[in-house]
Amino acid sequence: MDPKERLDEIEAYLQRQMTAEAEKVFEQKMADDPVLKKEVKLHALTDKAIDLAMEDEIRQMVEEIRQEEPVLQAETGHQPSEPIIVPLWKQRWFQCAVAALVIGIILITGIPYIEGLITPQTIPPPSRPQAINLIDLPAKNAVLGDVPTEDAMEKAKEAFFDHKDYKEAERLFKLAQNDPVTNQTEVTYLLAYTYFMQERFLEAKAIFDRFINEPDKISQLPLIYQSLDKIKWDSMLALLGTNEQEQLRPALEAFIKSDPDPHYGKKAAKLLEELSSE
């Protein structure tokens, strides 16, 4: 074999660049040829000697640098760094703790936030005072005219109309419900507005709807009967108070179409327009 080829083969073997198969063949060759085995051994030793010399050179250089460190620190502006305190954020336990904390915060705060993102946003409800502001309270004598009333009823009306103390008025109206001589339709009618002013719109609406659906009951009270459109309008305002817009819109449209009292018809049209613009 050409000496150069032989040398290349030895180098390839020592540097582990041979395939497993070629390596096996070469090892068999070495076992059969003591001269080749000696060659390989010598070559490996030579490599080792050179490698060691190179390592010594580097080691010496690093040692020199280590001894020159104070000078280097002065030149480069580095601070003496022995011992280094490992920054907290580079320590494994701290990284794990922060990760756990972040995940915890995300789980606690993120879920409602994500839910908020995917939940369709509803139109903000109109403020309740809007319904209260729109309502026209009946006059003190709206039901029976200037007919004198009983004591309990008188006190209740005083609380309602003069003091605007609706809670007290409710209590007194309920007392008047037990008075056999008091007109109960008037009591119920005024009780509806007492509920309305206390923002108990559903209870108020229930009374208004009773009047609307059973007009016979109020037929003997002409003042209320004539103002049935007002009761319808007030019932719709109660819907506005409860923010039942899906029911309110068709109710308003039907009310406008029914050719009501122009006073309430205009108000209904205006409210419908406002709701549409929202």
Partner 1 sequence: MTDTQINDAILKGGKAEKDAIAYIYQDEDYRTNTQIIARNHRRLRLTEWMDVFNESIIQLVKSLKKGNYKGDRPLLDYFKGICRNICAEFYRKENRDQQRLDPRDIPMEDLRTPYLIAVEEDFKAIMRKAFAELSEMCRQILTLRMKGISMREIAKILGLSNERTAITYAARCRNRLRDILEKTPFFNQR
Nearer to partner 1, 30 or 238 (CB): 30
Nearer to partner 1, 2 or 278 (CB): 2
Binding status of residue 162 toward partner 1 by CB under 8 A: no
Q: Reduced to 3 states, what is the DSSP secondary structure of residue 4?
A: helix
The structure tokens 């994500």 sit at 114
Q: Which stretch binds partner 1 (CB under 8 A): 21-29, 42-50, 114-122, 159-167?
A: 42-50
Nearer to partner 1, 14 or 206 (CB): 14
Chosen residue from 29, 37, 43, 140 binding partner 1 by CB under 8 A: 43
Nearer to partner 1, 52 or 105 (CB): 52
Nearest distance in Å: CB 89, partner 1: 11
Near partner 1 in 81-100, by CB under 8 A: 81-84, 86-87, 90-92
- State how far the Cα of 130 lies from the Cα of 136, in Å rounded to an integer: 12
- State how far the Cα of 158 lies from the Cα of 154, in Å rounded to an integer: 6
Nearest distance in Å: CB 71, partner 1: 10
Nearest distance in Å: CB 102, partner 1: 21
Binding status of residue 73 toward partner 1 by CB under 8 A: yes
Nearer to partner 1, 39 or 209 (CB): 39
Chosen residue from 52, 103, 106, 254 binding partner 1 by CB under 8 A: 52
Residue from 130, 143, 97, 84 nearest 239 by CA: 130
Instruction: Pick left, alpha or beta for residue 125 (phi over 0 → left; psi -120 to 50 → alpha; otherwise beta).
Output: beta
Chosen residue from 35, 53, 108, 181 binding partner 1 by CB under 8 A: 53
- State how far the Cα of 222 lies from the Cα of 173, in Å rounded to an integer: 21
Q: 236 CB contacts (<8 Å, ≥6 apart)?
A: 248, 251, 252, 255, 268, 271
Chosen residue from 25, 31, 45, 254 binding partner 1 by CB under 8 A: 45
Binding status of residue 64 toward partner 1 by CB under 8 A: yes
Q: With beta carbons less than 8 A apart as the criterion, state whether 190 and 156 touch.
A: yes
In Å, how far are 16, 69, 76, 155 from 82, measured between CA atoms? 40, 11, 16, 91
Tokens of 30: 């070495």
Burial class (CB in 10 A: 0-12, 13-18, 19+), 252: buried
Q: With beta carbons less than 8 A apart as the criterion, state whether 143 and 186 touch.
A: yes
- Look up residue 247 and give its amino acid: Q
Chosen residue from 48, 164, 167, 270 binding partner 1 by CB under 8 A: 48
Q: Which stretch binds partner 1 (CB under 8 A): 22-30, 41-49, 168-176, 196-204?
A: 41-49
Q: Is the alpha carbon torsion for 152, 173, 158, 263 positive or negative? A: negative
**Which residues sit at the interface with partner 1, rule CB under 8 A?**
41-43, 45-59, 61-62, 64-66, 68-69, 72-73, 76, 78, 81-84, 86-87, 90-92
